[in-house]
Amino acid sequence: MTNAAVPEELLAVAAAVLPGEDLRRAALEGGGSHHVVLLPGVAVVRVARNPTAVAALPRRTELLRRLAEADLPFAVPVPLTEVVQAEGRTAVALSWLEGRPAGRREGGEPKELAKLLDALREVDCRDLQGLLGAPHEYAGGERWAELMEQQVVPRLPAAWQAEARRRVQDALDLPAVPPSLVHGDLAGANVHWGEDGRLLGVLDWDLAQPFDPAVDAACLSWHGWHQVAAAVDRTTLHRAWTWYRTFGLEQVPFALLNDEPEEVVERRSAAAAAWLERTAAMESPLA
C-alpha cells in the first residue's frame, strides 16, 4: 500500500462526509475495493470503488459497530458517520487507529499474537449474525475447491499443477473444527502496534468470516513462522501451515470472480506459480 495525493473528486467526497474538517494533510491509501482517504489523527474515509463494495459497505460498517461493542483488547475502527451518498459516491468515515504496522518479519511478540487470536476465538459469532462473509468468500465461497481444481490448476505450468492440487486437497482433508471469528487478513497494514510492541488495533475487517481460526494464525506468519510457532499449539500450527500453502493461489479465482481482463488473470496465474516455487523451498515450521 502506498500513500499519495488525493484526487479532487475524492477530496470532495471527504469534505461532504466530514464537513468542516481540515483536508490539507489528507493522503490517499491505495486499496482493493475502496479508496481510503487518510486524515491523520482524525479519521479515514472509505469510498467504495465498485458495485460489490457499494453493496457490502453498510453490512461492513455495521460489523465494525458491533465489534466496537465486543470488549476486544485492541481498538477497531469505529464508524463516525452513517454510510452516505456524497458526490455520486458511497462512503463512510471511520475513526483513526493509533500505532503503526510492523514490517515483514518484524514485531509480533508471541504473547501479543496469542492475545489477538484468543480474543477473536472468544467473540460470539451469534452476535454478528448476518454481518460476516462466508468462508473463502474472497476466492469463491462454497465453490472454492471447484474453482481451484477447474480454473486455477489448469492455468499453472504443468510442473506445478500436481503440487497445487496436493495443497488444496491437504486443506480439504483437515478435520473440521468449530468455526470462530476469523479476520482473514491479519498482516501488514491491517494490524497496528505501539512502540513498546503492544497490539493496539486491527482494521480492514472486510474478509471477516466464521471459519477455522488457524487461517488467522497463518496470516500472522507475516511476523515470521517462529513467532507463530511460539504463540499457538502444534495442532493449530499444522492447520495454519496447511492453509498458508493455499493462500498464493487465491488471487486467481478472485480475479475471475471480479471479471478482471484475461491479461490480469494471466499475471495472477504467473504470480501463483512463482509463489508455489518460492514456498516449496520453505522449511515447515513443524520441522
Q: Give the pLDDT of residue 32.
A: 76
Quick check: 177 pLDDT over 60?
yes
Q: Give the pLDDT of residue 1.
A: 42
Tell me the mean pLDDT in the region 151-165. 98
Instruction: Please give the domain boundaries of the chain with CATH numbers for all domains.
Output: 3-95 (3.30.200.20), 110-280 (3.90.1200.10)
Mean pLDDT rounded to a whole number for the chain: 95
More confident residue, 30 or 129: 129
Q: What is the percentage of the chain residues whose pLDDT exceeds 70?
A: 99
Distance in angstroms between the alpha carbons of the first and the last residue of the chain: 33
Q: Give the pLDDT of residue 30.
A: 73
Tell me the mean pLDDT in the region 152-164. 98
pLDDT tens for residues 96-121? 999 999 999 999 999 999 999 999 99
Q: Give the pLDDT of residue 3.
A: 54
Q: Give the pLDDT of residue 258.
A: 86
Q: What is the percentage of the chain residues whose pLDDT exceeds 90?
A: 94
Confidence class of residue 52 from pLDDT cuts 50, 70 and 90? confident
Tell me the mean pLDDT in the region 61-86. 97
pLDDT tens for residues 245-283? 999 999 999 999 988 999 999 999 999 999 999 999 999
pLDDT tens for residues 187-210? 999 999 999 999 999 999 999 999
Quick check: 27 pLDDT over 60?
yes
Confidence class of residue 33 from pLDDT cuts 50, 70 and 90? confident
**Cα–Cα dist 133/203, whole Å:** 16
- HEC readout, the chain: CCEECCCHHHHHHHHHHCCCCCCCCCEEECCCCEEEEEECCCEEEEEECCHHHHHHHHHHHHHHHHHHCCCCCCECCCECCCCEEECCEEEEEEECCCCECCCCCCCCCHHHHHHHHHHHHHCCHHHHCCCCCCCCHHHCHHHHHHHHHHHHHHHCCHHHHHHHHHHHHHHHCCCCCCCEEECCCCCHHHEEECCCCCEEEECCCCCCEEECCHHHHHHHHHHCHHHHHHHCCHHHHHHHHHHHHHHCCCHHHHHHHCCCCHHHHHHHHHHHHHHHHHHHCCCCCCC
Quick check: 2 pLDDT over 50?
no
